[in-house]
Amino acid sequence: MFYLVLFKQTIFVSDQVYRQEQKTWKAASAECGENGLEFDEMVLKDIDELLDKEFWIGLAIYVITTPWIEIMGCFAVSEEHKVMKSPSIVICQKQCESYQFFGYSESTTRCTCLHTKGSSYSLQNCIEQNNSSYFIVYKLFSGTVSENDNGKCTTLYCMHGRNGLTSANCNEENEQRASICNKGTIVGWDKPYLTSKQMCLDRNQLLLQPETYCRSEAHENQAIYSWTNVFQAETEAKLTQAEASTNEPLYCLAGSFTEKNDKRDLNITRRFCNDQLQFVCRTGTASSKTPRQSSVAVQVPDRVVSTTNPEGIVFLFCLVYS
């Protein structure tokens, strides 16, 4: 009688656990337990067994979304306020979570956190950006939005002074929906959110402020569906599983090394998470979060690599926390 005995190959290298068996990213993360998959490039570079192999790293691409935020207008920010570079309004809002307001300039990718709004100015100052002290200022929306199909924009419907604020698909065109600027002028119908917003900006106006517009006697029973200044922004971010909590990743990241003149370079590629690769677990003394605090733009990975679908290019943003 013969018995076939199969062994899982596990190699302990520099206090890291290198698994030669291939698993999906989620299964590999589960096998590594609370410590998760290794993502520290300096640690991975010391593992000779990884040369000429592709392996999972402990980072994946997630969609992160702001709470409901509202555009307040164009404000001048004094020089005493710290100004940071931020690749998106989403990252700026995350940086300013402990503040009541935040300012962001899309054209210059500058972000500033504010306890007060400052002095209000014409929108033209923010649009033309002739002076770096002007910012479009936002705040977290304190009102109620009725959810509708996970839309990231909102419409109001004034009736008896109530705004009937409801989420809506930003790209939807609806012949019953108006593009109304904050001075009450109807500038179009059947337009998506961004088109409507730009039509108002061209007139140095914003879309409607839902908490005040329907309270006006002239509008309290207007009964027209209209876009508002309240919306949610979203972007893609590169996070560890601990940072992402219960969110499911869009794509998972794999690493491979190239060696030239005794120098090892880590190449990062995004893969479909159900692909199966080898992996390295972090040790019990390793942090489960990325090692430093910053918000940086990252151009990773160029394209999805998969045996089933190699299409797709993405720019993403990396949120890292201490």
**Rounded Cα distance, 271 and 267, in Å:** 13
Query: Residue 298: enclosing H or E segment and its boundaries?
Result: strand 294-298
The DSSP-derived string for 257-285 is: EEEETTEEEEEEEEE-TTS-EEEEEPPTT
Give pLDDT tens digits along the chain (322 positions): 443 333 344 454 444 588 889 999 999 999 999 899 999 999 999 998 998 899 999 999 999 999 999 999 999 988 888 899 999 999 999 999 999 999 999 888 999 999 998 889 999 989 877 678 899 999 999 999 998 777 999 999 999 999 999 999 999 999 999 999 999 999 999 999 999 999 999 999 999 999 999 999 999 999 999 999 999 999 998 999 888 887 899 999 999 998 888 889 999 999 999 999 999 999 865 444 554 333 333 334 434 443 333 333 333 444 443 3
Ordered by where they begin, the domains of the chain are 10-63+236-320 (3.10.100), 67-140 (3.50.4), 153-232 (no CATH)
Q: Quick one: tokens of 274?
A: 């159900």
The DSSP-derived string for 30-52 is: HHHGGG-B---HHHHHT-GGGTT
pTM to 2 decimal places: 0.75
